[in-house]
Amino acid sequence: MRRLVPLVALAVVAGCSVGGEAPVDRTVVLVTHDSFDVDQAVLDEFEARTGITVAPRKSGDAGALTNQLVLTKANPIGDVAFGVDNTFASRALDEGVFAEYRSPEADKGPQRYAVDGSGRLTAVDVGDVCVNVDPAALGGEVPKTFEDLADPKYKDKFVVEDPATSSPGLAFLLGTVAHYGEQGWADYWGRLKANGVKVVSGWEEAYTQEFSGSSGKGPRPIVVSYASSPSAEVGEDGKARTAALLDTCFRQVEYAGVLNGAKNPEDAKKVLDFLLSEPFQKTVPEKMYVYPAREGVALPDAWTAAAPLPEQPATLPAADIAAQRQRWIEQWRSTVGG
């Protein structure tokens, strides 16, 4: 199909003007984490309809992205950012990274996950972090709870990500804090260490190299990943080879917002609206393996049985995460190492 290019965009490419006016640059730099993906046909339709060119700029995981946005807030590296999650949202807001903008699409589901009432961040997707297991490698003896993971029968079978360097690793740490409380979580991690838990730097290494249920066929049948991960492990028989332990999940929400000081704030708002729109939200499960924030968006058939959205994941107030995150990470390091 031949892509339609708006007249103004053609004029810009040609370096000329329309009607004697100076050419207008409609480029919007979208700063994202490394896992951002978009259906090209959906993006092409948006760009053709609006005359906006979206230029993604990937900047590491959620933590690295947040750090870069904070460090460059006086001279922003883009116009709109996607991928700051609820474990880092308070820091970004406290640092004044985002401008106020309430999208007209926000009331169609994303408002359920609002960090505060300012409208500076709007939820785009939900990606609950949960322990995943490979039942076949476990011989059918599958753990169900946090406590089960410390049972000697699962010694040397569990791999986790470092919470200092990994977003899912941090989410799992926060899940243990929510479950065991301030007085009990560090003791729990001490028991996991004694039971042979392995710590690696990030999700890619944990899931694709160490986990037995993925393509890497690693040695460990228990891993920290996502509630949606089993949908990627469905065999020819239509059944998932792995499973998520829904009693171990921590709710991870990813947000987008217009950057303070953006060069193109008006078009940035339109890009944020696009991220919340039904056409984009429909692509979120298959392109990024997360759940859409918008209500009424159907999940792929494989997700219905293999990757249902957890009904009661653990959560912590964003303010508590902001205030205690670094202390919890340092205490985790002294307990487990990494």
Q: What does the pLDDT read at residue 22?
A: 61
Rg value, the chain, Cα: 21
Report residue 143: phi and psi, to 5°. Answer: -70, 160
DSSP assignment of 43-92 equals: HHHHHHHH--EEEEEE-SSHHHHHHHHHHTTTS-S-SEEEEEETTTHHHH
Domain range annotation of the chain: 24-126+253-304, 129-250+310-336
Q: Cβ contacts of residue 18 below 8 Å, gap of 6+?
A: 7, 8, 11
- 287-310 exposure pattern, b = at least 16 Cβ within 10 A, e = fewer: ebbbbbbbeebebeebbeebbbbb
* Residue 151 pLDDT level (bands cut at 50, 70, 90): very high
Query: What DSSP designation does 23 have?
Result: P
Comparison of pLDDT for 195 and 7, the residue scoring more = 195
What pLDDT score was predicted for residue 308? Answer: 83
CATH, domain range 24-126+253-304: 3.40.190.10
> pLDDT tens, 48-62?
999 999 999 998 778
Average pLDDT for 282-311: 89
Residue 11: its pLDDT value, please? 39
* pLDDT tens digit sequence for 76-122: 999 999 999 988 888 899 999 999 999 999 999 999 999 888 999 99
In this structure, what token pair is assigned to residue 201? Answer: 């730097």
pLDDT digits (tens, 9 = 90+) for 199-211: 998 888 999 999 9
- Whether 129-250+310-336 and 24-126+253-304 are alike in CATH topology: the answer is yes
pLDDT at 181 over 50: yes
Q: What is the mean pLDDT of the chain?
A: 90
Per CATH, the homologous superfamily of domain 129-250+310-336 is: Periplasmic binding protein-like II (3.40.190.10)
Q: Taking the model in full, what pTM does it have?
A: 0.81
Cβ contacts of residue 287 below 8 Å, gap of 6+? 37, 38, 39
